[in-house]
């Protein structure tokens, strides 16, 4: 069977950035063959314009034009010599590995409390002694107890929470041996279940309303 001048994708040049298609890559390859620098610069700007039209969703992205110029050099395999309005991306910079992120694990021993507990404790330590500070400390302790129950799904003695609070506050908040009573475990878990049920009911009502609307549309 005679195939004429048909080309198969397996025989074509590899697409470096497939989103732009083969024609953009051919335009850039043609720009590489232009000897006159001024003409080559004009060709590069024209290609950037076409690339921008093909990626309209990037117009709201910061440094949109800079991103396009970087992609232009990537597609040209960093061989295109033109006057870019931005620092030219190099192959080394493209393959440079990002630095490892430092995750804020201030108290990995008690991860189930979360990092917000530490922030709340720091705020409490910055307040002057008085009823407001005592109320905040009790709120923090109750929240810690609820977090513990979410993780353990059992029960926990208040003394355990007071010990953890003492450690996380570096000894600045000491409720150990005090007569302070936290909310009981059942009440804290009921609050969680009530919140969960409200969310589920809201979802059910939303689905029910949608189903009713769909039925009405079909009848009309």
Q: Per-residue pLDDT tens for 31-46?
A: 999 999 999 999 999 9
**Are 129 and 60 contained in the same domain?**
no
Question: What is the tally of structural domains in the chain?
Answer: 2
Do residue 81 and residue 122 come from a single domain? no
Going by pLDDT thresholds of 50, 70 and 90, the confidence category of residue 70 is: very high
Q: Where does the pLDDT of residue 195 fall: very low under 50, low under 70, confident under 90, or very high at 90 and above?
A: very low
**109 and 163, same domain (yes or no):** yes
Q: How confident is the model at residue 133 (pLDDT cuts 50, 70, 90)?
A: very high
Q: Which residues contact 66 (CB under 8 A, 6 or more apart)?
A: 86
Higher pLDDT, 196 or 79: 79
Residue 112 · residue 150 · CB < 8 Å: yes
pLDDT at 1: 46
Q: Which two tokens stand for residue 138?
A: 């009790």
Q: How far apart are the first and last CA of the chain?
A: 56
**Band of the pLDDT at 198, cuts 50, 70, 90?**
low
Asked if residues 48 and 28 have their Cβ atoms less than 8 Å apart, the reply is: no
Instruction: Mark which of 40, 69, 94 sits at the end of a domain.
Output: 94
Given a cut of 60, whether residue 218 has pLDDT beyond it is no
Within 10 angstroms of residue 82's Cβ, the number of other Cβ atoms is 20
Q: Is residue 1 part of a domain?
A: no
Note down the domain range covering 137. Answer: 99-186
139 within domain boundaries: yes
- Residues 23 and 87 grouped into a single domain: yes
Q: Is the pLDDT of residue 211 over 70?
A: no
pLDDT, position 2: 47
Q: Distance (Å, rounded) from C-alpha 198 to C-alpha 193? A: 9
């Amino acid at each position: 069977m005679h195939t004429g001048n048909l080309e198969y994708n397996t025989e074509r040049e590899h697409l470096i950035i497939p989103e732009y298609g083969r024609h953009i890559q051919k335009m850039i390859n043609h720009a590489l063959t232009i000897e006159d620098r001024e003409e080559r610069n004009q060709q590069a700007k024209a290609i950037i314009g076409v690339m921008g039209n093909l990626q309209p969703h990037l117009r709201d992205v910061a440094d949109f034009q800079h991103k396009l110029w970087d992609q232009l050099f990537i597609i040209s395999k960093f061989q295109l010599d033109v006057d870019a309005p931005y620092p030219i991306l190099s192959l080394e910079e493209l393959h440079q590995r990002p630095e490892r992120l430092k995750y804020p694990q201030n108290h990995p021993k008690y991860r189930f409390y979360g990092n917000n507990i530490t922030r709340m404790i720091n705020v409490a330590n910055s307040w002057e002694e008085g009823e407001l500070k005592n109320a905040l400390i009790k709120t923090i302790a109750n929240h810690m107890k609820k977090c513990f129950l979410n993780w353990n799904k059992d029960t926990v003695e208040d003394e355990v929470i007071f010990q953890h609070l003492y450690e996380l506050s570096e000894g600045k908040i000491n409720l150990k041996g005090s007569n302070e009573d936290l909310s009981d475990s059942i009440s804290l878990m009921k609050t969680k279940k009530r919140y969960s049920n409200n969310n589920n009911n809201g979802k059910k009502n939303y689905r029910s309303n949608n189903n009713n609307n769909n039925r009405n549309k079909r009848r009309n």
